[in-house]
Amino acid sequence: MDVDETSKPNEEKLLLVMLVGAPGSGKSTFCEEVMRSSTRPWVRVCQDIIKNGKAGNKAQCLSSAAEALKDGKNVFIDRCNLDREQRSGFTELGGPQIDVHAIVLDLPAKLCISRTVKRSGHEGNLQGGKAAAVVNRMLQKKELPTLSDGFNRITFCQTESDVKVAIDTYSALGPLDNLPYGCFGQKSKEAKVQVDIMKFFKKAEAPVVAESTENCSRNFTSQNNEMMDPCNKDIEIFSSNSDKANLEPMNVETISEGSTVSHGDNAFMGDVPTLAFPSISTSDFQFDHEKAAEIIVEKVAEFSNKLVNVRFVLVDLSRGSKILSLVKAKAAKKHLDPRKFFTHVGDITCLRSKGGLHCAVIANAANWRLKPGGGGVNAAIFKAAGPALESATKERAELLLPGNAVAVPLPSSSPLFTREGVTHVIHVLGPNMNPQRPDCLNNDYNKGCKILREAYTSLFETFASIVRTGTEQKSKRDADHGSEKSKKYKGSQDDVELNCTGTKVVNIDSSNKKSDGSLNKAWGSWAQALHQIAMHPEKHKDELLEISEDVVVLNDLYPKAKKHVLVLARTKGLDCLADVQNDHLHLLRRMHDVGLKWAEKFLHENASLVFRLGYHSAPSMRQLHLHVISQDFDSKHLKNKKHWNSFNTDFFRDSVAVIDEVSNYGKAILRDDDKLLSMELRCHRCRSAHPNIPRLKSHISSCKASFPTFLLQNGRLVRTQGEVNISS
């Protein structure tokens, strides 16, 4: 019988897959293996035999490929394709129904040469002694493909194990299966030649490439006919979205099974920082799936636009998960970039070993006591991580309030670290609609949705903080700082943990100064944001509260109190307080006056506020800036001990004291001391000690004690009565 046109299944999306690699890298074998086991129709276009079994040219390959695609067949381009010129033309064959992929067989040159020398009966007659010279010559001209060349997807294979995984991936593709777009597995974007072949002839050792720990399994979502990618160990995302923090992708090495890597050296063991997270409060907490899915997509969209070169993965153990289906549908409607956000069916504690998905940071739908047990994701993560996670969690916090998150670095002794490459677990607590659990909201979805939004915001901001910290750590490792002072900074934004070393007053040595007078310090690209605003305020008018010839004023991006603004100096060469000299005294007074003006404005709006003006001894952002911060410290961005202590110990230098020191001694006294940031948590009013941030916040919200005597002296506090102006 005739079939109505509308009832026909969707048409197959064809693939044109270009093999890129030196002779002996296994291109022909790759094609043969896939074609032997795939249910898709494939055609292999090989230049060595394109002309009736004899060698032909590129034009003939292009013609043959176009004809095969027109006939509805998938195509392998089996030629070396090692430079852009050789690849040009083939990418133009792509279109709405044709995806163009590249498989880069970037195997060690030693292996390729060995294969070509030993083989016989090769189609192109490249074998025997002459092969080594040919491989050498071709690799010297190698240009790695990029997505901007016109490819939808590029997979880099550095080991035979990587090749096997890629073969299995393409062999398993059904007619309606699609692979995520992006660049997978690239270890070094700069390297043009993997090994200097001439050195190889002199018995130089080839570099060691970390092997995959286990062949990846092939996972499918049956409901959506979309294949979960078993190859996406290391994705390099290319995004046009701007990022306020100017995040840089980290390029660090993958670890092999059983090895250990310190957090400082490898915050992420892949090209793109990845957060895997479960749905929060949708199962055990009985939260409405439709509402939860809407919030997930809303928050992912928000942070995908803020952060470049990161990716988010929503994970669920159930293949028929309702939340995954809802999120996928809503994400598609919002046109979220599938390279930056996708879903995955699998165990969040086995993403690398069983799913081939490398996520250095995973989220835990925790209980409020941050304890193991309770079933679900929380029990699974604590069990997989071992006792090390429970101990590390106790060091960070003992309880968690709904809508908040806390990051816990995993010790290298944890099985999740050594087996899965997980460096951090972020505990996050959402709202609860289950009457059998604490803090039930009794179906108050107005409050529930508010808390759930706060939970995802806190989760993603915490992840961003980890990324920024790891990025700056790598920048510091790669740079020659030129001074001991510069080694004391651990870069991050003001909401990221600060890390300083040395218990002493910092002396500014002229030998550590740049020609413009500023201290030699390697600032990560994200840490340049304030500098760019100060130097080019006209580009940031919408973000600024005030612009003048010598200063600009803006709200802190991650405020640590109800009111928290920054006064930025616009003078070149003033990166931080360590750069200030007697010549800058007038500028310091000007910054103080501007800060006072804004404090008084806020006091006019809310007379109950109290303000303090000051500088961090070792700031995380480049460009001298004064903090004007209310002393309520009522902010979801104030998350940990170092946040608190950076504003409530001698690490925070009062503006009036700095002006006095520069006036008398020609420089500010900087107490750059790691012990200050790791001190016990004490109330800034009554000085009582508290075990964690939630307890401290609960206390300070009701503490009515007077401020300590030293803060009441010399105009350190700005209140409705007693404002101080020292500009004269």
> Are residues 271 and 360 in contact, defined by beta-carbon separation less than 8 angstroms?
no
- What does the H/E/C string look like for 412-431? CCCHHHHHHCCCEEEEECCC
Task: Look at residues 534, 551, 618, 621 and name the one whose alpha carbon lies nearest to residue 589.
Answer: 551
Burial classification of residue 401, based on how many CB atoms lie within 10 Å of its CB (0-12 exposed, 13-18 middle, 19 or more buried) = middle
101-to-75, 418, 515 alpha-carbon distances in Å: 10, 32, 49
Backbone angles phi, psi at 119, to 5 degrees: -75, 160
Helices (H) and strands (E) in the chain, counts: 21, 24
Q: Integer distance in angstroms from the first to the last C-alpha of the chain?
A: 96
Say which amino acid occupies 718. Answer: V
Measured distance CA(710)–CA(716) in Å, rounded: 8
Cβ-proximal residues to 151 (8 Å cutoff; 6+ apart), any chain:
18, 91, 100, 101, 102, 145
Instruction: Return the sign of the alpha-carbon dihedral for residues 111, 113, 114, 118.
Output: positive
Strand partners, 46: 78
CA distance 225 to 172: 12
User: Cα separation of 140 and 345, whole Å?
Assistant: 42
* Contact in structure between 378 and 441 (CB atoms under 8 Å): no
Asked if residue 68 lies in contact with residue 50, where contact means CB atoms within 8 angstroms, the answer is: no
**H/E run at residue 467:** helix 445-478
Q: Which of 584, 616, 625, 637 is catalytic?
A: 625
Asked if residue 611 lies in contact with residue 603, where contact means CB atoms within 8 angstroms, the answer is yes
Cβ–Cβ under 8 Å, residues 716 and 684 = no
335 tagged catalytic: no
Strands 361-365 and 424-428 turn out to be parallel
The answer to whether the CB of 471 falls within 8 A of the CB of 248 is yes
Distance from C-alpha of 570 to C-alpha of 671, rounded to nearest angstrom? 25
Assess contact for 274 and 341: CB atoms under 8 A.
no
In this structure, the strands spanning 681-682 and 689-690 are antiparallel
Cβ neighbour number for residue 699 with a 10 Å cutoff: 16
| C-alpha 284: how far from chain center | 29
What are 630's two structure tokens? 């209310």
CA distance 433 to 445: 9
Q: For residue 74, give the nearest of 50, 98, 51 by alpha carbon.
A: 98
In this structure, what DSSP letter does residue 519 have?
B
Q: Coil, strand, or helix at residue 17?
A: strand
| Cβ 522 vs Cβ 490: under 8 Å | no
Angle at 283 (CA atoms; ends 282, 284), nearest 5 degrees: 120
List Cβ neighbours of 473 (8 Å cut-off, separation of 6 or more): 264, 265, 267, 490, 491
Q: Which two tokens stand for residue 723?
A: 């404002």
User: What are 54-58's contacts with CB under 8 Å, separation 24+?
Assistant: 55/124, 58/86, 58/89
By three-state DSSP, how is residue 32 classified?
helix
Catalytic residues, by residue number, are 625
